Chain A
Amino acid sequence: MRQSALHRWHVAAQAQFLEAAGWQVPAHYGDPEPEAAAARAGAGLADLSNLAKVDVCATAPPAAASATCWVLGHRHYLLTGPPEERAALAEHGIDVTSVFAAFLLIGPRSRDVLGKLSSVPLADRSFPNGAATQTSVAHVHTTILRQDRRTLPAFLLLAARDYAGHLWEAILHAGQEYGLAPIGGEAAARLEE
């Protein structure tokens, strides 16, 4: 079974796991309802490391219906998509699913949490939904992708897997004052509804 770099952390936090495309991912840490409520009121942090990620070097954005295409630079794109699409998406470039841990930081205070760890401007005007940037978050090179869920501002954070533990804990620590809670896949799904 494929496991995220934070698997031991999830186990210690009494996560209930579910299986998705060969990965074990946290479904919830006891009860998804308060997790979703925390994300709606303050901020939530979910480990989505099984998200399929493909690094693409091409003259035009690749056409992949099942994926989101992010512009990282000149002729440099990143595809993200559901875990089960990994093999199909890998046709477009180099599969970097394993390279990056992926966290979803979601909620009305998510920007304030990131503002304690990164100097990049994240206001709606300079970083709208769909924007992508690469910067330092808690001193770790991170790709920030703005991907709002319904009305909630949300940021996908991709960082090298070896830094996952450090980054996860730094975000949780910074988010304490805003009521940040770790959330599982079930709560994350509820926020989409």
Chain B
Amino acid sequence: MRFEFNGTPVEARPGDTVASALYRAGQRVFSRSFKYHRPRGLLCGAGKCPNCLMQVDGVPNVRVCVTPARDGLVVRHQHAYPSLDFDWLSLAQRFDAFLPVGWYYKTFRSHALWRAAEPFIRRAAGLGVVPADPAGEYEHAFRQADVAVIGGGPSGLEAALAHAGAGSEVVLVDDQPELGGHRRYRKRAGPEPTDLIARVRSHPAISVLAGAYCFGLYEGNLLGVVQPAPHARCRERLLHLRAAHVVVATGVYEAPLLFPNNDLVGVMLSTAAQRLIHLHGLPPGKRAAVIGRGVRAEEVLADLRSAGVETHLLIAPEEVERAEGAASVSALRARGERFPCDVVVVCGHLVPDAGLLSQAGARLDWNAQVGAFCPAGLPPTMSAAGEVTGAGLSAAAPLPAPVAPHKRAFVCVCTDATTQDLCDALGEGFDHMETLKRYTTTTMGPCQGRMCQLNAIAVCARQTGRGMQETGVTTSRPPNPGVTLGALAGPRHHPIRRTPLHHQHADRGAVWLDMGEWKRPRYYRTAASSDETTCVRAEYAAVRQRVGLIDVSTLGKLEVRGRDAGRLLDKVYTHRFSDLAVGRARYATLCDDHGILLDDGTISRLAEDRYFLTTTTGNLDFVEQWLLWWLAGTGQHVHIANVTGGLAAVNLAGPLARDTLRKLTALDLGSQAFSYMACRQAEVAGIPAILLRIGFVGETGWEIHVPAECGPDLWDALLDAGREFGIRPFGVEAQRLLRLEKKHVIIGVDTDALTTPYEAGLNWVVRREKEDFIGRHALSGSPRSPRRESLVGLVVEGEQTPEDGSAVMINGRPAGRVTSARFSPHVGAPIALAWAPEAKAVEGARVEVRIRGRAVTARVTLEAFYDPEGARLRA
């Protein structure tokens, strides 16, 4: 197995992490610190500290001490210039007098100064580089369990077996590649639980997720679990694990002790040394000084000796004066002596890993005897097992200990906050743990307080004279450890809605327009031209002069059936529908209680108890819910079904539409027999269809709805039939122009969240004499009563078409806005729909429209620009 580190190949053995393979290859400096760019080496070896963050396969801030080594990985250092062993920015520590705690707040009092300095600071202090195009995929998965056990040590294994034995489905999550917890590397603490592991592995009700880490607990016992590389194609999978009960058996982690130069390369925690020895067969150095006392320290000493490391006698924590060395440690000074060594092994504080419990609302109480904050007051859906409860622990060193402020005794290795910094901050008045945290950024770095929290509390407690309990812990929040944004974002699921005629459009060179999730043809390229203006103009001409065909399948379609269907529609829509004759259709608008226009469409009566509704494309879901809401509890017999996807719909329009359609149906299409706003059910090209004689584009036309699976056949048949008449499919862009010439309003485009039907010029759709309908009270006044403004037509002088949203000006002041504008071939000038003050809503009035900064004169018109009498529509 071989991977690449900064361009050079590194050999790895099975079971190696990236960090252990690098250590074996002689690498000692793994990162550079955040502020002073001091060299840093392996500290915790367990993914709890920030010292080994590297860029792996392009992903920044990967904890390489818990990343299994794999063939072909590309690993790079981050945050060191030019290299880990020599970093120019380490000069920063020479100027530490100018970098006091709260440096940002003290230095950048002017915004301009910060703006000038920010790019440099970001580059010097940033963590890694975000890849432009990360390789691999991210996935989400969902899983439910009766019990989730977090932690695969002896207590976790026992808890899993106990719950499974009681008939529960159990999921066991462990962040190590193998189960066993600390027994895998603390050989002298007890035998490896091989029997428990075998029983867990073979139990049918227990599933084991090894090598996966849980980063947080959310409402309803939802656990966020990241599984790195669950299968070949996938980089990370985020598992949403919901469990009725959660057992936290996360054990303890080790936190450093405070002494000058406690961050030198070669100063490592005892568990890191034990992991190197027992998991990777690597002696951490040649000569070690061990700081610690009691059974644990003896155990570490024995491990080091058996690994062939020469050791001094144990040094108690209080006896330590400082570590010495330029980049790497060369000696430890204690009890007035100098102990030469290349590695200092620190038996640090053992901290219960109770983050998940705290997130669930558990308290953390200080227990001086075990030297730890222990969880208490667990919610009934959680329990704790093993060392995380504090059971069996003993204090590594008494806390709070006397503090000697020192500029090189690091409390927070993530952000280089020292005991000096903390004492200065306390002196400046930040004497509450939470303000101290925010001011010094201690506990806010990548390790999220794992390395520094206990020491910071101890310093705070000592300096303020308060106790540990009174000083208290900072709030634990997920995610901890950090999660990649890719894992949180998950897979790229962008649902696409395709109409039943999608492939027909694609075959004809459609240029797509995204409308919400729908794909609609904006216009069709032809052999002659692919230019939008040319194509749209040709499509427009076909509809006005011959015949055109557009896919309107995206319209929302609802079937409303039952003996009370008419009553429900009378209640919800502003017009009356209970008196609509079978075989007729009516324009329909829908308002809220304030009389604000919400949606429009058509309602046709197919039978006595059967209505067919269309809604605008974007409002279908709302209209369906709105109808169901107003139906609920009324006891009315109404059945509402959303049939949008089930019907392909086209609009065949133009002076030759009748000639085209006549070839495909036996229906009498004469203007008397099938008049404007009539509806029929008949076969078209042998396909059962609903035909509506309506005209959004202002020409003789039919909206034809057929079963979706027959849509392509209908489309082809209509184009075949219309070929002799010069038929042409047209897209949304041509449709928008055609309807604008007719001044047909699009709800939500030409109207806004305050528009009433009266303001939009739709007085006729409101049946004020109806006994009740939604919005009646608000709309009960006269349509002519004073209004905010009116939607008017504008004919703009000159060649330039205003953009949608351009300001309407009166006497140089903004007084309205353009909602839709296009160049009208019929008028020969740009036309627009616009909101204008009531005083200007007069035929022939003059206003100005601002087009690209210039004021251009426009004339108000209240009539449709095209065929105001509607003669063509009704022909």
Enumerate chain A interface residues (CB-CB to B < 8 A).
Answer: 1-5, 8, 23, 49, 55, 57, 93-94, 96-100, 115-116, 118-121, 123, 126, 138-140, 160-167, 170, 173-174, 176-177
A172 to chain B, nearest CB (A): 13
B515-549 with Cβ < 8 A to chain A: 518
Least CB separation from A76: chain B residue: B639
List the 8 shortest-distance A-B pairs measured between CB atoms, nearest first.
A99-B646, A98-B646, A160-B645, A57-B639, A161-B645, A162-B497, A2-B709, A177-B231
Instruction: Tell me if A98 and B645 are in contact (CB < 8 A).
Output: yes
B139 at interface, CB cutoff 8 A: yes
B715 to chain A, nearest CB (A): 12
Instruction: Tell me if B140 and A116 are in contact (CB < 8 A).
Output: yes
Instruction: Tell me if B496 and A166 are in contact (CB < 8 A).
Output: yes
CA distance A115 to B518 in the complex (A): 26
Chain B positions within 8 Å of A162 at CB level = 497-500, 518, 553, 644-645
Instruction: Tell me if A118 and B231 are in contact (CB < 8 A).
Output: no
CA distance A1 to B713 in the complex (A): 8
Chain A positions within 8 Å of B140 at CB level = 116
Q: Other CB < 8 Å A-B pairs besides A98-B643, A177-B232, 10 of them?
A: A5-B708, A94-B559, A96-B646, A115-B141, A121-B144, A123-B144, A138-B493, A138-B495, A163-B495, A177-B233
CA distance A163 to B518 in the complex (A): 9
Chain B positions within 8 Å of A174 at CB level = 139
Instruction: Tell me if A98 and B707 are in contact (CB < 8 A).
Output: yes
Encoded as 1 (CB less than 8 Å from any A CB) or 0, chain B from 598 to 636 comes to: 000000000000000000000000000000000000000
Q: Can you name 8 A-B residue pairings with CB atoms under 8 Å?
A: A2-B707, A2-B709, A4-B709, A49-B709, A94-B641, A121-B144, A139-B495, A166-B493
CA distance A161 to B140 in the complex (A): 25
Instruction: Tell me if A170 and B709 are in contact (CB < 8 A).
Output: no
A58 to chain B, nearest CB (A): 9
Least CB separation from B561: chain A residue: A94
A111 to chain B, nearest CB (A): 10
B201 at interface, CB cutoff 8 A: no
* Residue of A49, A123, A162, A173 most packed against chain B (CB within 10 A): A162
Known A-B contacts A2-B709, A8-B503, A162-B518; the reply to A100 vs B645 at CB < 8 A is: yes
Partner of A170, one of B493, B498, B708: B493
Total B residues in contact with A, Cβ cutoff 8 Å: 42
Partner of B498, one of A119, A126, A165: A165
Enumerate chain B interface residues (CB-CB to A < 8 A).
Answer: 139-144, 169, 230-234, 240, 491, 493-500, 503, 518, 553, 559, 561-562, 639, 641-647, 707-710, 712-713
Instruction: Tell me if B639 and A93 are in contact (CB < 8 A).
Output: yes
Known A-B contacts A118-B142, A138-B495, A163-B495; the reply to A55 vs B641 at CB < 8 A is: yes
Instruction: Tell me if A98 and B233 are in contact (CB < 8 A).
Output: no
Chain B positions within 8 Å of A177 at CB level = 230-234
* Residue of A3, A99, A140, A167 most packed against chain B (CB within 10 A): A99
Interface of B is mostly: mixed
A93 to chain B, nearest CB (A): 7
A142 to chain B, nearest CB (A): 11
Chain A positions within 8 Å of B497 at CB level = 160, 162-163, 166
Instruction: Tell me if B142 and A96 are in contact (CB < 8 A).
Output: no
CA distance A44 to B387 in the complex (A): 46
Chain A positions within 8 Å of B709 at CB level = 2-5, 23, 49, 98
Chain A positions within 8 Å of B498 at CB level = 5, 162, 164-165
A134 to chain B, nearest CB (A): 12
Chain A positions within 8 Å of B647 at CB level = 98
Instruction: Tell me if A94 and B639 are in contact (CB < 8 A).
Output: yes
Chain B positions within 8 Å of A161 at CB level = 500, 645-646, 708
Instruction: Tell me if B143 and A165 are in contact (CB < 8 A).
Output: no
CA distance A161 to B645 in the complex (A): 5
Known A-B contacts A93-B639, A99-B645; the reply to A5 vs B495 at CB < 8 A is: no
B139 to chain A, nearest CB (A): 6
B646 to chain A, nearest CB (A): 3
Chain A positions within 8 Å of B494 at CB level = 139
Chain A positions within 8 Å of B708 at CB level = 5, 98-99, 161
Least CB separation from B610: chain A residue: A94
Known A-B contacts A161-B500, A163-B495; the reply to A126 vs B144 at CB < 8 A is: yes
* Residue of B169, B233, B639 most packed against chain A (CB within 10 A): B639
Chain B positions within 8 Å of A126 at CB level = 144
Instruction: Tell me if B233 and A176 are in contact (CB < 8 A).
Output: yes
Known A-B contacts A118-B142, A166-B495; the reply to A96 vs B500 at CB < 8 A is: no
Chain B positions within 8 Å of A94 at CB level = 559, 561, 639, 641, 643
Instruction: Tell me if A139 and B493 are in contact (CB < 8 A).
Output: yes
B627 to chain A, nearest CB (A): 13
Least CB separation from A3: chain B residue: B709
CA distance A62 to B139 in the complex (A): 41
Least CB separation from B559: chain A residue: A94
CA distance A188 to B230 in the complex (A): 29
Chain A positions within 8 Å of B496 at CB level = 163, 165-166
Partner of B139, one of A5, A100, A116, A120: A116
CA distance A97 to B234 in the complex (A): 37
B648 to chain A, nearest CB (A): 9
CA distance A97 to B643 in the complex (A): 10
Least CB separation from B169: chain A residue: A123
Chain B positions within 8 Å of A166 at CB level = 493, 495-497
CA distance A26 to B142 in the complex (A): 31
Instruction: Tell me if A140 and B495 are in contact (CB < 8 A).
Output: yes
B398 to chain A, nearest CB (A): 49
CA distance A3 to B500 in the complex (A): 10
Chain B positions within 8 Å of A165 at CB level = 496, 498
Instruction: Tell me if A96 and B639 are in contact (CB < 8 A).
Output: no
A89 to chain B, nearest CB (A): 14
Least CB separation from A23: chain B residue: B709
Chain A positions within 8 Å of B233 at CB level = 176-177
Chain A positions within 8 Å of B493 at CB level = 138-139, 166, 170
CA distance A99 to B495 in the complex (A): 17
Chain A positions within 8 Å of B562 at CB level = 57
CA distance A164 to B240 in the complex (A): 26
CA distance A170 to B492 in the complex (A): 10
Instruction: Tell me if A99 and B499 are in contact (CB < 8 A).
Output: no
CA distance A161 to B232 in the complex (A): 32
Chain A positions within 8 Å of B642 at CB level = 99
CA distance A57 to B139 in the complex (A): 38
A131 to chain B, nearest CB (A): 15
Least CB separation from A113: chain B residue: B141
Chain A positions within 8 Å of B491 at CB level = 173
B227 to chain A, nearest CB (A): 12
CA distance A93 to B562 in the complex (A): 10
Least CB separation from A176: chain B residue: B233
Instruction: Tell me if B500 and A5 are in contact (CB < 8 A).
Output: yes
Least CB separation from B234: chain A residue: A177
B392 to chain A, nearest CB (A): 37
Chain A positions within 8 Å of B712 at CB level = 3
Least CB separation from A161: chain B residue: B645
